[in-house]
Structure 1
C-alpha cells in the first residue's frame, strides 16, 4: 500500500506550484489629522480558524505582536503607543497563562508627528505569531507614503500681500492632495477586489476542468460498463428502492472521498517544505520518469498490452467489499478506482497537469481532485435516482476502444511536454520549439488518420462507415493539426502556448529565415538578454536594478520558470498585446528571475535557509528564497513593480490572463513611480 501511495504522490504532483501560507492579508492607510500629524493604520484580514497574538499577551505564553518604526525620532516622532482593535482572551493549558489574541480582523493604529517636511514616507515593520493547529512567525514591512506638507499662509505686509487669488489657489492645491489620496485608496481597493474576483474565477475554472475530466473518464472501457451493473446491483440487493438509491448515492460519495483523500500527503509535504511542488514539477529526472510512464500508458491504450494494478491488491480490496454496510460500499468504490486505474489514471494525470495554476499548492490540488471525483461519481448517482434512463445508455462496443485509442494519442502528446520540461530546465536545447511542434503535428496528424479509418489498432472493430460524431472529431483534429504547422516557421500558436517551449527557445528565435543582426544585438543593454517578444530582460537582480537607476525607469520583477506553463501563457497571450508590449519595452526595466534554474551557485554564495533549513545551492533556489523572504510567496508567475529604493509601487500580481486587468496594473504602477 505504501508503494501505491508513493506512486500517487509522484503521479499527481507534476505542474503543481506551492503557495506559502499567508493567513493574514494586510492593507495599510494614512489618515491626515492636520498640523502635520498623521495616523498610520494597519488592517489585517485573518483567515478563518487562525488567530494573531496581541502586543499585550502575557510573558511565558506565545510571542506577542511587535511594531517597530524605522528612523523614529529622526524627522518624525511617535505619539503614544500603537493601539489595537478589540481582542479576545482565553486560558492556554499548555503555557499556563491567558492568551490575548485577534480573530477575523486586526486593526493597529499609530499616531506620528512630522518634524521634517522632507520626510515623504515612513517604513514600519510588524513581527507577530499567527496560529491555527500550527503556528507561523511572520515579519512584514510596510511603507507609508505621507501627503505633501501643507504650505503655511504668509503674513500680509507691505512687501507681501496675500490676495484672494492666492488663498483660492492654496485651497485648490490642498483639496487636490486630499482628492489624490482618496482616489489612490479607491484604486487600490478596486485592484484588490479585481484580484479576488480573478482568483475566484481561476479556482472555479480549475474545478470545472477537473469535473469535466471526471465525466470524460466515465466513458472509458474500464468504467462505462460498470455504471448499469453497479446501479442495478444496489437497486436489486438493497431490499427497497429507497435504500438502493441511498446506497448508490453513498457509493458515489465514497468515490469523491477517496479522490480527495489521495491529496492528503501533499498537505503534509507542503507543510514540511514550501518549495516541494516547485521542486517536483521542475525535477529533471522526475519529468523524464513521467515521460516514460505516460508513453507506456499510451502504448497500452493502443492495444500493445494491458496495465492493471496488482491482482493481490485488487482481490484483497474486493473481498473487503463483501463485508456489507457502509464500509463494504466504501471498499466497492475503492475497488472501482483500483480496477479501472489503467483508464482513469492517465485521464486524471492529464486533468491535474493542465489545470493546476501556479499559486494554489495543496489546496488547489484537493479542489481539482474533488471536481474529478464528482465528475466520476455523477453518473452512478444520477442513474440511481433515475434508473428508467439506464435503457437509454449506448451499448458497450467497439466505440469504447476508439475512445481508449484517442486517449492514447493525447497521453503521448502530453508525455513530450514532460520531456520538454526536463530539456528546458537543463537548457540542453535537444527538444527545441520546432522539434516539439513537429512531434505534435505527427501525433495529431496520425490521430486524424485513425479517426478517418486509415489506421487500425489490434482491438479495433471493423469500420465499414464513419459515424457523424467520429467524422466531426476527425475534422476537428485535422484542423488542429493544420493549425500547428505554421508554428514550425515561428507562428505564436496562442491556443497551445502553455505547452511548447517559448519562441526564444528555438532554432530560429526571430522566425523562420530571420537572423539576429548586429544592430539588434547591440541594442540590448550590457548584461541583458533578448526575452519574450524581443524585450530586453535582465536575469541578474543587481544588474537590472542598476540599469533602472541609470535610465530612470521603474523595475518590473518577473518571477518565472523555464518549465512554467502559466508563465508561457502570460508571455504569449498577455505580453503580446500591443499596449502591454509597449510598456514592457519602453517604460519599465524587466528583471526575469527563474526559480527553476539549475545552474550551481559558486561555493562562496551557497548558504542554508534560516526559514526552511534547506541548502540554497542553485540559482533557482536563490531566487525562490529571495521571492519568499521578500514577498511571502513562491508562486510563478509573480510580478512586482518597484522603485529604485526597492519599495513596491502597487500590489504585486500573480497569473493574470485578462489583458485589461494586467494593463491597468502596469499603468497604475508606472504612474505611481
Structure 2
C-alpha cells in the first residue's frame, strides 16, 4: 500500500515538474578579462528538462555540433577553438549515427578566446548555433546572435603595449527580399537541371491557409475517433477484471432492492449512476488537459524520464496481476466514500457511489487508464484525453444501466470465480508486453542500446509463448484453480497467442511487421537485416526538385529533416523503405529532402524579416528551416508535405508517425488530389 502511494506521488510530482515547457535552449553571452590583452567570449546555455544539446566536437557525418561564427570582427582576432568548459559532455554511443557523441543536459558553458588588437575599434558580432533534441523531435540550429563593442569590454581589461590595429572582417551581409531567396540555390548539387522554369517567388509564398483547409494529420476527427474506439474497447476489457465484474450484480441488486415497489425509480437511479461514471472519467480527462495543456502532455508523454517511470508503473501492475502481490488503494479512501453514500441522498448519493466504484476498481483499471491517457496525449489535441475517457466510461457504465433495466439478465451472468483470476493473469502478460514499449522509447532517447529491435522481439516472443502455455493450463499462478480441461475460449486465445509469437519470428531477420511497426523499435536498431532498401532518386534542393516535378508532371513530396533528427532516421529506416511506400515515392513523386541543420555556407548571407525582427540566414540549413517556418508555419522535424507545381499543398501535412498504413494513406490522398 505504501509502495503504491509512493509510486503515484512520484509520478504526479514528475508530471507537475514537466507541465509548462519554456524555450528549449536559452543563451546568455558575456565577456571576461583573461589578462595579457585577451578576453573570453562566454556563452552560457540553459537547456529545458527532457532535452539535450550536442557538444562542439562531433565526428564527421554526425549531428549538428554547437558552433560559433563571426559576422564581423574588428580590433581583435580569435585565438583557438570554440569549446565547452567546466561541465563535461556526457559521451554515449548513438545507434542511429553509429558513433560516440557528447551531449549536455540542463546547462552548458562554451568559451572562445579573443586577442584584442585595438581597444578603440573593438567590435565583434556573430552567433552561436546549437541543436536540441528529445525522443520525438529536434529543433533546427537557429542562430543566437551576440554583439559587443569596446564599451562592453570588462572594466578590468587593459590593452598590452604591443597592441596594434588589426581588423578581420567577415564577408559582407546582403539584404535580399524574401521573393529572391531562391537565387542562391544553385550551390546544392542536383542530379540534373530541368529546362522547365518555375515561379520561384510563388514557391516561397505561405500556404498555411491551404493546409488548414485540409486539416492536420494528428488532430483530425479520425484520430479522435480512434482514441474513442480504443477507450471503448479497453472499457469493455476492464469489465472482465476481478475488480469490476463482481460489482455489476452487487450494484444493480442494490438499486432494485432500494426501490422494490417502484421499478421505474430503480431504473432511473441506475441510469443516473451510469451517467455519473461517465461524468467522473470524462472530467478526469478534461482536468488533466486543462492543467497541463495538450502540447505539454505531448512533451511529457514523449519524455525519456516519463517513459521510464511509466515502464516501472506498468511493471509493478503486471507483477500484481500475475499474483506477486495485491495492489489496493488505502481503505480509508473507500471507507470515506462509503460514508458519503450513507450520509447523502438523491443525485449526490449516486455520484459518490460511482466515485466509490472508480476507487475500488483502480487496481485493475489503473494501467488501462494510464496507457489510454498517454496514447491520447500524443495526439496533441485538447479533446483527446476526454474523448478517450468518454469511450472508456461508456463501456464501463453500459452493463450497470442495462442490467438495471432488465434485471432478469443478471441470472445469465457467469458467477465470479477462478476464471476472473485467469483474465487478470492474461491482462498481466499484456501489460508486461506493453511496458517494453515505454522502456524502448527511453532506451532510444538515451542511446543505451540495451533494447534494440532484436531483443524487443525476443522478449515479446517469449512473453506470448508463455501466455499460450498458460492458457492451455500448463502453467499455474497464485490464485489459479486446476484446469481439468481446456475450454473453447482458452483454446482459441492460446492459438492466437502462439500464432502471434510465431508471426514475430521473421522480424528477427528484418521483416517489417507492419501491423505493429509503430510499437517496435526502429529497424535501424536491428543487428541483422537480410537486405537494405533505399529510395532511387532524392533531390536536396527545393527549387531544382520543384522544376523536375513540373517537367515530369508529378507532384513533389517535400521532406524537412535533419542530420541530427533521430525520428527522421526512424522514418527513413522503417516507413520510407517499406515496399509499398518506396514504390509510390519512386514511381509517382519527385522526392525532395531538405536538411534544416545543413552546415554548408550560403554564398551570401540573407537577411529576412520574421515575427517583427530581422533574421540572418547564413547556411543552407538556415534557408530550409526558414522555408518551413515561413511557408508552412511549422518547425518540427520530420515534416512531410505534398505540393503541386505552384507550391500549394494537395493533402494535409504529415509528421512523425511510424504507422506505415497512415503514411500510405497520406501519399495516396495527395496523389489523388493532385490528379484531380
Aligned equivalent of 1:579:
583
Would you say the 8 A contact 2:285–2:386 is kept in 1? yes
Q: Which of 363, 368, 383 is 1:342 aligned to?
A: 363
Q: CA RMSD in A?
A: 4.8
After the TM superposition, which of the residue ranges 574-583 and 634-643 deviates more from structure 2? 634-643
1:456 partnered with 2:459: no
| Structure 1 residues 496 and 3, CA gap change in structure 2 (3 angstroms) | closer
1:455 positional shift: 1.1
1:202 positional shift: 3.8
Q: TM-score, normalised by structure 1?
A: 0.59
Deviations 1:90-125 (A, max 9, x none): xxxxxxxxxxxxxxxxxxxxxxxxxxxx99698799
Q: Equivalent residues in 2 for 1:483-562 (5 A)?
A: 483-508=503-528, 511-512=529-530, 533-535=533-535, 554=556, 556-557=558-559
Q: Which of 299, 303, 307 is 2:319 aligned to?
A: 299
Q: Which of 493, 496, 504 is 1:476 aligned to?
A: 496
Q: Equivalents in 1 of 2:418, 2:507: separation in Å? A: 35
| Structure 1 residues 665 and 293, CA gap change in structure 2 (3 angstroms) | same
1:251 partnered with 2:273: yes
Q: Which of 210, 234, 240 is 1:219 aligned to?
A: 240
| Structure 1 residues 580 and 124, CA gap change in structure 2 (3 angstroms) | closer
Q: Equivalents in 2 of 1:337, 1:267: separation in Å? A: 20
Q: Equivalents in 2 of 1:341, 1:267: separation in Å? A: 20
Q: Equivalents in 2 of 1:558, 1:351: separation in Å? A: 30
Would you say the 8 A contact 1:640–1:652 is kept in 2? yes
1:650 partnered with 2:650: yes
Q: Equivalents in 1 of 2:633, 2:296: separation in Å? A: 16
Q: Equivalents in 2 of 1:436, 1:491: separation in Å? A: 14
Q: Which of 291, 316, 319 is 2:336 aligned to?
A: 316
SS in 2 for 1:262: helix
Q: Equivalents in 2 of 1:377, 1:626: separation in Å? A: 50
1:328 positional shift: 1.3
Q: Equivalents in 2 of 1:477, 1:286: separation in Å? A: 30
Aligned equivalent of 1:238:
259
Aligned equivalent of 1:640:
641
Aligned equivalent of 2:666:
662
- Structure 1 residue runs of 5 or longer lacking an equivalent are 15-68, 72-117, 126-139, 145-187, 517-532, 595-608, 612-622
Q: Which of 298, 301, 325 is 2:346 aligned to?
A: 325
Aligned equivalent of 1:180:
none
1:368 positional shift: 0.8
1:306 positional shift: 0.7
- Which has the bigger relative contact order, CA under 8 A and spacing at least 6? 2
Q: TM-score, normalised by structure 2?
A: 0.58
Aligned equivalent of 2:449:
429
- Structure 2 residue runs of 5 or longer lacking an equivalent are 19-176, 180-196, 551-555, 598-609, 613-623
Q: Equivalents in 2 of 1:267, 1:5: separation in Å? A: 19
Would you say the 8 A contact 2:512–2:574 is kept in 1? no
Q: Equivalents in 2 of 1:221, 1:294: separation in Å? A: 18
**Aligned positions, number:** 463
1:589 partnered with 2:589: no
Deviations 1:331-381 (A, max 9, x none): 111111111101011222344455x48544221121111000001111111
| Structure 1 residues 214 and 287, CA gap change in structure 2 (3 angstroms) | same
SS in 1 for 2:559: strand
Aligned equivalent of 1:136:
none
Deviations 1:122-166 (A, max 9, x none): 8799xxxxxxxxxxxxxx94499xxxxxxxxxxxxxxxxxxxxxx
